[in-house]
Amino acid sequence: MFVNLIAMKWYYLILKLLKKHEVNNKYSPADFLNFLSEIKKVKINDEWLYAEVTQKTLKLLQKLEVVPIT
């Protein structure tokens, strides 16, 4: 039950963020998590770098004012 409580807390925090930036009519919290799950890191020459991130994901992160990935 505790894990369920934490999951619900995160769900409503994401929903609040989407509503604040008025994109909740286009994206759901599940959509947001799916976009974030597509972001990958790869290790090249003992250095961790971000792999390619789609334009759609970058636009959503910028619109929500989440720290940009470079």
Residue 67 pLDDT > 90: no
**pTM for the full predicted model:** 0.77
- Which helix (DSSP H) or strand (DSSP E) does residue 54 occupy? none
Tens of pLDDT, residues 17-65: 999 999 999 999 999 999 999 888 999 999 998 888 889 998 999 999 8
Enumerate residues 6+ apart whose C-beta is below 8 A from 67: 61
| pLDDT band, very low/low/confident/very high, at 66 (cuts 50, 70, 90) | confident
**pLDDT at res. 70:** 60
Residue 68 pLDDT > 80: no
CA dist 22 and 4 (Å) reads: 27
Spans of all domains in the chain: 2-63
Q: Are 21 and 61 in contact (CB under 8 A)?
A: no
Q: Is the dihedral of CA 19, 2, 34, 36 positive or negative?
A: positive
